[in-house]
Amino acid sequence: MGTLRRDRLRGSILSLPVFTDEDHNLLLDRQRVHLRWAVDQGMKEGRAVLLIAGGVGETYMLEDDEFATLAKLGVEEARGEAPVMVMVAELSARAAARKCQVAADAGVDFVLLSPPHYSAPSEDDVFLHYKYVNDRADIGIVLYNSYWVMPNHYSFSRGLLERLSDLENVDGMKWSAPTTEDYLGIAQLFGDRIKMVQNRFFFSMGTRFGMTGYIDVLGNAAPRFSLHQTALMEAGDYDQLDALHKQVRFDPVYSPDSIPAPKKNMVADGPNALVILRSMGLDAGPPFPGQADVTPEFEEHIQRQTEASGIMEWVDWDQSIFDDA
Amino acid sequence: MTDGRIDKLAGALVSLPTFTDDDLSLRLDRQRKHIRWLLDQGITGDAGILMVAGGYGEGYYLEDDELFALIDTLMDEAGGRVPTMVGIFDLNVRKATRRAKYAADAGIDFLELGLPHYSCPSEDDVYIFTKHINDNADIGIMNYNNYWATPPPGFEITRGLIERMTDLEHVVGFKWSSASAAHYVGILRLFADQFAFMDNGMANSLGQRHGMTGFVDFYGNVAPRLSLKKLELIREKRYDELDNLLYALHFDAENRLNTAEGAPAFASVADGVFGRLRWRLMGLETGANFPAQAQPSQAYIDHTKRVIDESGIMEWVDWDQEILA
């Protein structure tokens, strides 16, 4: 079963926003409309996986009942046309396993499972956390090397991945690494055992080294762009992929025309992702409370960056889709 | 800050263990007996504060119902006899607030509030997080400068942030340590007349000499006589004697454990593994750690036992596990 399941980790791993009103109530009608729209645009099995309650969806900020509701909704609206994934980021292995079981019971295919951290974990801490969930929930596990949130920048080692990739339910890994050598070396070593998902789709580099998927924010408003990228990946047309990335200068750091961003730490991904989507015409509502929202200066920066990137030529989303539904 | 509870944030802040059995069920009967024993030993009135679900109590790993049961147990046994506190370490401010309100309604005096972090928070993130709880729960807040748990570039509570927090009614103090001796003392010089500062570690008298009102107390769980002795020296401003006592006991177990010759390497994702081990070696068996934290090697256990035996702390230990019988 594991082999078949992991083969479904291909193309865009579309990290969906969570639609909310000003009081942070979930707008499930909007969630359904947007998710169905993405599927109808072609974000389907083999080309996409629908990640509901991921980083863009502020999974860290969700209450348990909201998480369960979103997991169920994702499965219902995917209608079997696309695999569904959730993200779980808990220090408590018991809480992580409980949420994974909730998702599995709802029919969710995969969980993007963060390693534990409060202080810096040891390798054994990380392994035991994954094993605890592996042994208790029947759901495909996608490892997440979120080294930048570790107090000591801990990044999964070859030795740890040797142990983790032997766990029955470990199907893939959301992968980036502090060094290029690590990034490509691990992809080469483990790409035939687990599916590798690029956390930062940067030209064709990861794809050339066998990575089959990529984390996708832009596809929420520009699925045509995501599908085109995926098609180039599947065809092994790396030069065209490079040309596309060079043409659509969406990388905020390394494009020739990039605009330096105002520097500011953010406690989680939500506010940043939501403002990027808003710049593309997709307004999902405010971030959950207790975290600073972006400054007007930063929002203006994102707007200019989006316009300069050329990505708007690929955007098919229109907020009036909600009115027509 | 206008919260009248500030005067109660003083003395030995005893961070209680969470008693569990091998199935990780809470042993509230043992919890009660331990609390009663501490009260009987003199941790009452203005001598200190009893805290459940702190770091050593593995507050990060508790489910809501477990946290609430601990709060109720603490209030049943100690409410009105000694100030009380509960640890809250959630990133989701709505969850943190819900827990804070439960504690407030139960009559708990204070929260120990960890810094929110997934990625590294900004100052605005920390302020907004704290303000949300301040505005929604009637309970004294002790902010915790647990800077080492924040990922790079790292965050410490700053002068500017504390100045902003003077406007928050319920923020009464800080659990204080710092990566920098200058920051440690400088903040005390600036704010010790406005907030209560509890020394996190108290390796020496430096903080008390600069206006701290108490100290976080791990050893008080088994050696309350020592806690009261330290408190006597602090309140009588006999700082040289306090330094001599701390030095004689080699009380700074963290540094001794990590730097003593032959110390085997061991790191843990949180405090609970260290806490239960050290208590066990001093005669207080509290049960199993919550999953899925790696356990130390026998060499590390042996080393820890040697450090404890050599420290002289056992001469102050009055706990006997028979008390739980």
In this prediction the ipTM stands at 0.90
How large is the average pLDDT for residues A258-270? 75
Residue A210 falls in which region: left (phi positive, over 0), alpha (psi -120 to 50) or beta: left
Give the pLDDT confidence score for residue B259 in this predicted structure: 54
B120 touches chain A (CB under 8 A): yes
Residue-wise over A240-254: b if at least 16 C-beta within 10 A, else e?
Answer: ebbebbeebbbbbee
Lowest mean pLDDT among A73-82, B6-15, B146-155: B146-155
d(CA B281, CA B17): 14
Give the pLDDT confidence score for residue A247 in this predicted structure: 82
pLDDT digits (tens, 9 = 90+) for A177-222: 999 999 999 999 999 999 999 998 888 999 999 999 999 999 999 9
How large is the average pLDDT for residues A264-275? 87
Q: Residue B1 pLDDT more than 70?
A: no
B89, A265: Cβ pair inside 8 Å?
Answer: no
Give the pLDDT confidence score for residue A251 in this predicted structure: 62
d(CA B123, CA A292): 9
Are A75 and A41 in contact by the 8 Å Cβ rule? The answer is no
Q: What is the dihedral of CA A250, A254, A257, A263, to 10 degrees?
A: 90
Say what percent of chain A tops pLDDT 70.
94
Terminus-to-terminus CA distance in chain B, angstroms? 45
Of A61, A62, A292, the CB nearest to B128: A292
Interchain CB contacts (distance < 8 Å): A and B: 143
Return the bridge partners of B216, or none.
B13
Shortest alpha-carbon distance between residue A63 and chain B (Å): 7
pLDDT digits (tens, 9 = 90+) for A83-138: 999 999 999 999 999 999 999 999 999 999 999 989 899 999 999 999 999 999 99
Computed over every residue of chain B, the mean pLDDT equals 94
Are A147 and A177 in contact by the 8 Å Cβ rule? The answer is yes
pLDDT digits (tens, 9 = 90+) for B222-232: 999 999 999 99
Residue from A65, A155, A167, A267 to probe the interface with B (highest B Cβ count within 10 Å): A267
At B116, list the tokens: 């929110």
At B240, list the tokens: 């040289």
How large is the average pLDDT for residues A273-293? 95
pLDDT digits (tens, 9 = 90+) for B153-188: 999 999 999 999 999 999 999 999 999 999 999 999
The helix (H) or strand (E) run that includes residue B300 is helix B298-311
How large is the average pLDDT for residues A251-258? 62
B94, A290: Cβ pair inside 8 Å?
Answer: yes
Say what percent of chain A tops pLDDT 90.
82
At A119, list the tokens: 């202080």
Of B121, B149, B294, the CB nearest to A118: B149
d(CA B20, CA B66): 11
d(CA B41, CA B325): 18
Shortest alpha-carbon distance between residue B307 and chain A (Å): 23
d(CA B102, CA B90): 15
Of A127, A266, A290, the CB nearest to B122: A266
Shortest alpha-carbon distance between residue B53 and chain A (Å): 13
Shortest alpha-carbon distance between residue A127 and chain B (Å): 9
> B75, exposed or middle or buried, with CB in 10 Å at 0-12, 13-18, 19+?
middle
d(CA A195, CA A192): 7
d(CA A201, CA A85): 19
At A175, list the tokens: 């992968």
Are A173 and A196 in contact by the 8 Å Cβ rule? The answer is yes
Q: Which residue of A has its CA nearest to B96?
A: A290
Q: Which residue of B has its CA nearest to A114?
A: B118
Q: Which residues of A touch B132 (CB under 8 A)?
A: 289-290
Q: How far apart, in Å, are the Cα atoms of A194 and each of A10, A88, A210, B44, B289?
A: 12, 19, 11, 57, 31
Computed over every residue of chain A, the mean pLDDT equals 93
Are B242 and B234 in contact by the 8 Å Cβ rule? The answer is yes
Q: Which residue in the block uniquely carries the two structure tokens 């007007």?
A: A296
Give the pLDDT confidence score for residue B320 in this predicted structure: 97
Q: Which residues of B touch A92 (CB under 8 A)?
A: 60-63, 290
Q: Are strands A213-216 and B11-15 parallel, antiparallel or unpaired?
A: unpaired
B144 touches chain A (CB under 8 A): no
Closest CA to A271 of A304, A289, A294, A290: A294
The helix (H) or strand (E) run that includes residue A171 is strand A170-175
Residue-wise over A126-162: b if at least 16 C-beta within 10 A, else e?
Answer: bbbbbbbbbebbebbbbbbbbbebbbeebbbeeebbe
Q: Which residues of A touch B118 (CB under 8 A)?
A: 60, 89, 149, 267-268
At B266, list the tokens: 């061991």
pLDDT digits (tens, 9 = 90+) for B200-259: 989 899 999 999 999 999 999 999 999 999 999 999 999 999 999 988 886 555 555 555
Give the pLDDT confidence score for residue A2 in this predicted structure: 44
Give the pLDDT confidence score for residue A1 in this predicted structure: 43
Terminus-to-terminus CA distance in chain A, angstroms? 38
Residue from B65, B156, B269, B274 to probe the interface with A (highest A Cβ count within 10 Å): B269
Closest CA to B157 of B149, B145, B170, B148: B145
DSSP character for A20? B
3-state SS class at A77: helix
B121, A265: Cβ pair inside 8 Å?
Answer: yes
B89 touches chain A (CB under 8 A): yes
Residue at B299: amino acid letter: A
Q: Residue A3 pLDDT more than 70?
A: no
How large is the average pLDDT for residues B145-149? 95
Q: Which residues of B touch A128 (CB under 8 A)?
A: 291-294
Give the pLDDT confidence score for residue B267 in this predicted structure: 85
Q: Residue A139 pLDDT more than 60?
A: yes
